[in-house]
């Protein structure tokens, strides 16, 4: 049985800690025999801060330090910052709020934005040829963040009890 992008059984746990939350790493062997990867790096996504038609860096040197660490330690890198910039700039200042919670938030994503960034991660998994990439469903369509699906065509049923209220935090 397949669901979404990855199969439901023989899952891999892909732990991502972008550095702005302190989360202890998961155990090496997750429940149910799932495998855990701890040696991959992902740059954080940018925030929706436009300067004209271009995204303004709101993360300082952090994304570059993640890239530097990946190069130094010779570990795979998924450059979500680069892909998120391409995604937000493709939408532009007018449509990019549709990728964020309620459109007023510059950090927390709507279902549309979260889905697009999840596809960016899948593209990074494919590009890095991770061993678990073989579990990506066969009918997955490649995603180019510079040419995203129009937000007007995105449709996913709302989760029961969902809210458009942005969570607290930065």
Question: What's the rounded Cα separation, in Å, for the pair 140 and 149?
Answer: 14
40, β-bridge pairs: none
Is the model's pTM score more than 0.85?
no
Asked if pLDDT for residue 144 goes beyond 70, the answer is yes
Residue 42 and residue 17: Cα distance in Å, rounded?
8
The whole-angstrom separation of Cα 78 and Cα 76 is 7
Q: In whole angstroms, what is the distance from residue 157 CA to residue 124 CA?
A: 27
DSSP 109: B
Instruction: Enumerate the β-bridge partners of residue 41.
Output: 77
Instruction: Kindly tell me if the per-residue pLDDT of 74 is higher than 50.
Output: yes
Condensed to tens digits (0 to 9), the pLDDT of residues 31-70 reads 555 554 456 789 999 999 999 999 999 999 999 999 998 8
Give the SS3 label for residue 44.
coil
| CA separation for the pair 92, 86 (Å, rounded) | 10
Q: Are strands 2-3 and 6-7 parallel, antiparallel or unpaired?
A: antiparallel
Measured distance CA(143)–CA(140) in Å, rounded: 9
Q: How far is CA 100 from the centre of its chain?
A: 13
pLDDT class of 22 with cuts at 50, 70, 90: very low
């Amino acid at each position: 049985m397949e669901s979404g992008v990855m199969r439901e059984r023989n899952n891999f746990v892909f732990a991502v800690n972008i550095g702005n939350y302190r989360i202890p790493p998961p155990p090496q062997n997750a429940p149910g025999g799932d495998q855990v990867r701890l040696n991959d790096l992902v740059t954080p996504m940018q925030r929706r801060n436009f300067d004209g038609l271009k995204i303004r860096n709101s993360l300082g040197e952090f994304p570059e330090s993640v890239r530097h660490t990946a190069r130094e330690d010779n570990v795979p890198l998924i450059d979500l910052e680069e892909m998120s910039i391409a995604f937000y700039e493709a939408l532009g200042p007018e449509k990019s709020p549709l990728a964020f919670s309620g459109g007023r938030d510059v950090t927390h994503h709507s279902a549309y934005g979260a889905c697009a960034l999840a596809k960016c991660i899948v593209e990074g998994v494919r590009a890095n040829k991770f061993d678990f990439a073989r579990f990506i469903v066969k009918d997955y369509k490649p995603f180019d963040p510079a040419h995203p699906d129009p937000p007007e065509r995105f449709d996913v049923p709302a989760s029961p009890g969902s809210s458009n209220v942005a969570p607290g935090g930065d």
